Chain A
Amino acid sequence: MMTRSAAGPDPAEIYLDHAATTPVAPEAVAALGRGVALHGNPSSRHSAGQAAREAVDGARAAVARLLGCAHDGVVFTGGGSEAINLALLGTFAAAEWRGHLVTTRIEHAAVLGAAGAAATHGVAVTVVPPDPSGHVDPERIAEAIRPDTLLVSVMHANNETGAIQPVERITEIAHAAGALVHVDAVQTAGKLPIAPLRADLVSVSAHKFGGVKGVGALRVPAGHELTALIHGGGQESGYRAGTENVPGILAMAAAAEVAVTASADPVVRAHREHLRARLLAGLAELDGIRVHVDSRVMAETVSVAFPGVRGDTLADLLDLRGVHVSTGSACHAGSESPSHVLTAMGVPADLARSTARFSFGSTTTEQAVVAAAEVTVDSVRGLRRSWGATPAAVAVGAG
């Protein structure tokens, strides 16, 4: 059934997993090289060290523009998960583990894991479910906030479904109640504007917007009480010890400058919306598919259930045919448990397991998306034939 010749054009290596990670931007590759050439330690007094320090300071200013804060409000970390852990655990550690945390069931494992760790220290945690639409109702957050709520942590957009959360309204509610707000902007940095966010703490990850893996940043407002998780030499204003990853930080800054420009470009935004429309139009040839979130959603992230097919099996087949997609969060790939995000939305387990995520980035072309849709349609039909699915059965399952 499923030879490449039967599927039309060979889609050689169509990468549609940008929500997991995206190719390093050429500007970031160049910056990485400059960083590698700076052999001094930024903490050293000599001129080699000071050259590295100046480069890091320049990079900090660029990342500050991405985050919408003063340059001394940027704390570089070893990635998005570390930034998130620093935001949550650092805030509660500074409060001697007193107080209450509000978060949601659709957060990334980094937030949920940090919340669990905070709970073991005695922090009270309330986890708010989303609506079936995949969005968190701000009123549910309001109901969860208590007099002792110290922090509300909500993601800007969900990594699996792309659902954009009402973080500005949630921030208003939290601030009115005297609580701080952390926004996990790992998925949106470089795609949606994050500088205007009024949240106190904002976490990002470089490799999601064209930087390299292993570098992240946390926006920390002046005067915020935050205890370091990594102790040592006092780098990053004492919030994160360890010699700075100079090449990675320079690459992150270069990628941030490109991404800030692109995310503000209406032509780029229109192109991403067009890609989404073209993908969904192609997939619509299949019976019974369900798009999990199709309003208030990032154009770049398309989460689709294909009843009659297991998502992991479809992803394997697409991979063998040159199309790289995910079954959901890359962190969950390989897990047999259905997605905690889709489960929280009330999606039945069999539909959740039949889900694949397509995600776009700066290198995604319309031609690639159209070809990926064709290969997906052919692959789903082939897999459905393998177990004798009938269109009627598929349609019932999708209902």
Chain B
Amino acid sequence: MGRFSPTVVDHFTNPRNSGQVADASVRAFVGNPVCGDQILLTAAVADGVVTDIRFQAFGCSASLAVASLLTEVVKGKGLDEVAALDADRVVELAGGLTPDQRHVAGLAADVAHRLVDNFHQGVNDDDPISCGA
């Protein structure tokens, strides 16, 4: 399919790290709960490093793919590196996104930043993903 990069196809059809981390250190949610793209990250953090991370996502094909991709990128990284992730880097890691898909790169960067912020502030987001059910 020409609309998606091979990386996006790979993660969309074979998502990695879906679900939630048991006893997570931090939970972060970004998205539009009224049927927009939504990503929830749960992670275990030890000594400033993300040791485990899982995602739940609802939305377009590309948003599910970048959520999966994000968990692979972030796992094992220090929180400073996670905080430095931006949308352009997500586009690059995804092997390119079409103009109508690029918003999901911003969504992925936003939820990564929120994960870091929530951890530093000691807060957790709820699990609001409910659209479509």
Question: Which residues between 44 and 88 of chain B lie within 8 Å of chain A, taking CB atoms?
Answer: 55-61, 64, 67
* Category for how many chain B residues contact A: 20 to 34
Q: Which residue of B lies closest to A308 (CB)?
A: B133
Complex-state Cα separation, A148 to B15, whole angstroms: 60
Asked whether B59 lies within 8 Å of A310 as measured between CB atoms, the reply is: yes
Complex-state Cα separation, A224 to B77, whole angstroms: 75
Asked whether A320 lies within 8 Å of B56 as measured between CB atoms, the reply is: no
Determine which residue in B19, B57, B60, B61 has the highest number of CB atoms from chain A within 10 A of its CB, and name it. Answer: B61
Asked whether B64 lies within 8 Å of A386 as measured between CB atoms, the reply is: yes
Asked whether B9 lies within 8 Å of A387 as measured between CB atoms, the reply is: no
B58: chain A residues within 8 A (beta carbon): 310, 386-387
Complex-state Cα separation, A316 to B131, whole angstroms: 19
Asked whether A396 lies within 8 Å of B133 as measured between CB atoms, the reply is: yes
Asked whether B132 lies within 8 Å of A354 as measured between CB atoms, the reply is: yes
B67: chain A residues within 8 A (beta carbon): 386
A353 within 8 Å of B by Cβ? yes
A385 within 8 Å of B by Cβ? yes
A109 within 8 Å of B by Cβ? no
- Closest beta carbon of chain A to B1's beta carbon, Å: 6
Q: Which residue of B lies closest to A383 (CB)?
A: B64
- Closest beta carbon of chain B to A253's beta carbon, Å: 35
Asked whether B13 lies within 8 Å of A317 as measured between CB atoms, the reply is: yes
- Chain A: residues with Cβ within 8 Å of the partner, total of 30
B4: chain A residues within 8 A (beta carbon): 316
Asked whether A388 lies within 8 Å of B61 as measured between CB atoms, the reply is: no
B40: chain A residues within 8 A (beta carbon): 387
A2 within 8 Å of B by Cβ? yes
Asked whether A385 lies within 8 Å of B35 as measured between CB atoms, the reply is: no
- Closest beta carbon of chain A to B31's beta carbon, Å: 10
Complex-state Cα separation, A388 to B21, whole angstroms: 12
B14 within 8 Å of A by Cβ? yes
A397: chain B residues within 8 A (beta carbon): 132-133
Asked whether A350 lies within 8 Å of B35 as measured between CB atoms, the reply is: yes
Query: In terms of DSSP, what is the predominant structure of the interface of chain B?
Result: loop
Complex-state Cα separation, A350 to B133, whole angstroms: 8
Interface readout for A358-380 with B: 1 if CB under 8 Å, 0 if not? 00000000000000000000000
A353: chain B residues within 8 A (beta carbon): 35, 132
Complex-state Cα separation, A2 to B9, whole angstroms: 11
Q: Which residue of A lies closest to B9 (CB)?
A: A320
Q: Which residue of B lies closest to A334 (CB)?
A: B100
- Closest beta carbon of chain A to B106's beta carbon, Å: 17
Asked whether B13 lies within 8 Å of A2 as measured between CB atoms, the reply is: yes
Complex-state Cα separation, A2 to B127, whole angstroms: 25
Q: Which residue of A lies closest to B100 (CB)?
A: A334
- Closest beta carbon of chain B to A258's beta carbon, Å: 32
Asked whether B15 lies within 8 Å of A307 as measured between CB atoms, the reply is: no
Asked whether B129 lies within 8 Å of A387 as measured between CB atoms, the reply is: yes
Complex-state Cα separation, A265 to B19, whole angstroms: 51
A388: chain B residues within 8 A (beta carbon): 19-20, 56, 127, 129
A270 within 8 Å of B by Cβ? no
B118 within 8 Å of A by Cβ? no
Asked whether B12 lies within 8 Å of A316 as measured between CB atoms, the reply is: yes
Q: Which residue of B lies closest to A288 (CB)?
A: B133
B56: chain A residues within 8 A (beta carbon): 386-388
Complex-state Cα separation, A354 to B58, whole angstroms: 11
- Closest beta carbon of chain B to A184's beta carbon, Å: 30
A387: chain B residues within 8 A (beta carbon): 38, 40, 56-58, 129
Asked whether B18 lies within 8 Å of A313 as measured between CB atoms, the reply is: no
Asked whether A310 lies within 8 Å of B57 as measured between CB atoms, the reply is: no
A48 within 8 Å of B by Cβ? no
Complex-state Cα separation, A385 to B57, whole angstroms: 9
Complex-state Cα separation, A309 to B61, whole angstroms: 11
Complex-state Cα separation, A387 to B54, whole angstroms: 11
Query: Given B55, B129, B130, B132, which contacts A309 in the complex, CB threshold below 8 Å?
Result: B132
Asked whether A389 lies within 8 Å of B1 as measured between CB atoms, the reply is: no
A288: chain B residues within 8 A (beta carbon): 133
Given contacts A312-B60, A387-B56, contact A1 B132 (CB under 8 A): no
Given contacts A310-B59, A350-B131, contact A386 B18 (CB under 8 A): yes
Interface residues of A (CB under 8 A from B): 1-3, 288, 307-310, 312-313, 316-317, 319-321, 349-350, 353-354, 382-383, 385-389, 393-394, 396-397
List of 6 A-B pairs having minimum Cβ-Cβ separation, nearest first: A397-B133, A316-B61, A387-B58, A308-B133, A393-B133, A388-B56
Interface residues of B (CB under 8 A from A): 1, 3-4, 9, 12-15, 18-20, 35, 38, 40, 55-61, 64, 67, 127, 129-133
In the complex, 14 of the A-B residue pairs with CB atoms within 8 angstroms, ordered by the A residue number, are A307-B133, A308-B133, A309-B132, A310-B58, A312-B60, A313-B59, A316-B12, A316-B60, A350-B35, A386-B67, A387-B58, A388-B129, A389-B132, A394-B133
